[in-house]
Structure formats: C-alpha cells, structure tokens
Amino acid sequence: MPNNKDFIYQALVNHLYFGGTIRNFCTTIGLTFYKNNQDYIDRAILLGYEATDIVNMAISYMDQKLASEVLKQDVYITKYTKDILLLTEKLFGVNLQISVDNDIKILKNKNDEYSDDVVSKINDLTEKGMLLVNKFNAFVKEIKLKIDNQELFSYLYPDFFNYMYEEISVYGRDLERIRSKKDYTNFYLNEFKYYFNELLKKSSEYIRGFLDTTHQDIFDMASFYVNAFDKLTENYLKNNDSLILFAETEKLVINYKNFVFNNIEKLLNRELYFITPPIVLDNFLTNINAYLFIIKSFYKND
C-alpha cells in the first residue's frame, strides 16, 4: 500500500493527464461531426465540461513540488499546447475556451503543503473519474456502433474511436488500483507499459494515416515506429526482466517523442498537414510524456 504522499501523487497525475485527454477527445469528437449531428456534439461538450471539472480539482489539490514536476514533464500542458489550440480554433472557427495560461499560472503558484483532508477529496475525485470513464466509453462505443451501421458519419477514422476507448480504459484500470489503494508492482507496471506501447503503436499508425501524401519520409518513419512498438509489445509478453524492458522502452519512447515534436513543429510552420484536428497531435505528445513520467517515477524509487 502506498503512503499518503505517493498515493496523492499517483492519483493526481493520472486525473490531470487523463482528464485533459478526455477533454481533448471530446473536443475532437465535436469538431468531426456534421452540424446535423448536434445532439452528439452537445453530448461531447457536456462530457468535456465534466473532464474539465476533474482537471481543475486535480490542479487545486497539488502541492508546489508536484505542480512543478507536472509543468516540467509536460504531462498536461506541452510547450505546443497553446499554439495547437489556437491553430485548431483558426481552422475550425471555434472558441475552445481552454484556459492554458491560467492553468500554468495556478500551477506555478501552488502552496507547498497539502491540507489534512486531501486524501478524502482524492477519494471523491477518483469516484468522479470512474463515473466519467464509464460515461465516456459508453459514448464512444455508441458512436462507433452507429458508424459501423452507417447511421452516423464522422471525419475521424472509425478505428480512432477504439483508440479513445482503449486509452481511457487504461485510466479506468488505474482508478481501480487507486480506489483500492494498491501500489504499483512489477507485474502491474509491465501490464501498464504493455497497454501504453499498444497506444503508442496506434498513434504511430494514425500519424501515418492522417498525414498528407506528400511526405513519404514521415510516412516511412511512422511505419518504423509501428513495427518497433509492435516488437516491444511482443517482448513484454515473453520477457519478465522489467529493468531491461524499461531501458528499451525509455529509449524508444524518447526517440518517438522527438519524432512527434518534429511533426508538430512542421504542422505549426505549415510545412505539412493532417486530416484531423491539430489537438490530436498534442494528445499524442501528452500520452508519451505521461508514460515517461510514470515509469521514471517508479524506477527512481525502486
């Protein structure tokens, strides 16, 4: 069982990262429907508000040290987030009303101690998170089924709804661990890394699929990462040496992060485009950063 501080840190990082991810997913869903599907757009917006509430509460419960780590590791806001949001607003003619500057200001000015009742508050936040996971996953399953039955159309690849479901299911699994106050174990962490490797492989596939067709070099590099993460996943299924896999994983993920960096910079400089809202690329980046933050934190204390 983790001590109170570890429990708080693990919970808050997960709530902040996944809450922000659900909000981004809801924004993406809303932007990729026709206006005659306003009901689904409105439902996505409402779920996005619920995710924002979780993000705001997680930020309010952080102490100075954790807030500093969150900002430094880019697990919630990356150095590209604001520019990507502005580009998304410009391309789609919307106001996303996500206050990045305000969140950064709050995180930079946190107090350095927790209140006595913060553990109880995090328990309540975890229950809210579980409800949101269930509602969000039911929502994307409904959309995917209607798309498959040709009752609904979205500009997103139908499989991307599976990706969203899988990523938020990771949140749900970890919330179950947090709710039962169980610490990370080597077995759990290997399972966690397996799921994240699968998600990074999927994001590589989407970069390749969403990319305009004039960039064969980026297409080929994305294909390299699809295969590399696939092989790494196979290693997790047959190799129990977590330290060896950690080193292999960290190296591959850092290289992949640099690849995503380069693509975002080219996107912002109008050197390429993707057939998806730009915020999808920022989600791929926070996904990578949260993964690195969690596994580094675990091995640092191991």
Q: What digits encode the pLDDT tens for the residues 172-217?
A: 988 988 888 777 766 677 777 888 889 999 999 999 999 988 899 9
Q: What's the CATH code of the domain at 67?
A: 1.20.1260.120
Tell me: the pLDDT tens digits for 232-252? Answer: 888 877 765 666 777 888 899
Alpha carbon distances (Å) from 263 to 56, 205, 219, 254, 288: 30, 14, 11, 14, 14
Structure-token pair, residue 131: 């409800």
Structure tokens belonging to residue 174: 């970890």
- Look up tokens 């040709």; give the residue: 150
pLDDT value at residue 78: 92
Q: What is the mean pLDDT of residues 127-141?
A: 97
Single-letter amino acid code for the residue at 187: F
Per-residue confidence (pLDDT) for residue 207, from 0 to 100: 95
Average pLDDT of the chain, as a whole number? 88
270 neighbors 242 (Cβ within 8 angstroms)? no
Q: How far is CA 23 from the centre of its chain?
A: 10
Q: Which of the two residues, 4 and 49, has the higher pLDDT score? A: 49
Cβ count near 16 (within 10 Å)? 28
pLDDT at residue 296 greater than cutoff 90: no
Q: What pLDDT does residue 250 have?
A: 87
Lowest mean pLDDT among 39-48, 76-85, 117-126: 117-126
- pLDDT for the residue 241: 61
Confidence of residue 114 (pLDDT cuts 50, 70, 90): low
Q: Where are the alpha helices (DSSP H) in the chain?
A: 4-31, 38-61, 64-73, 81-92, 100-108, 118-148, 158-179, 186-210, 216-238, 242-268, 279-300
- Among residues 176, 24, 193, the alpha carbon closest in space to that of 96 is found at 24
Q: 223 falls in which pLDDT band (50, 70, 90)?
A: very high
- What digits encode the pLDDT tens for the residues 65-109? 889 888 888 899 999 999 999 999 998 888 887 788 889 999 898
Domain that holds residue 85: 4-300
What's residue 2's pLDDT?
62
**Residue of 117 and 134 predicted with greater confidence:** 134
User: pTM to 2 decimals?
Assistant: 0.91
Q: Choose the most confident range, by mean pLDDT, from 99-108, 112-121, 290-299.
A: 99-108
Count how many domains the chain has: 1
Beta-carbon contacts of 168 under 8 Å, excluding residues fewer than 6 positions away, are 18, 21, 22, 25, 133, 136, 137, 140
- Does the pLDDT value for residue 295 go beyond 80? no
Asked if residue 270 has pLDDT above 90, the reply is: yes
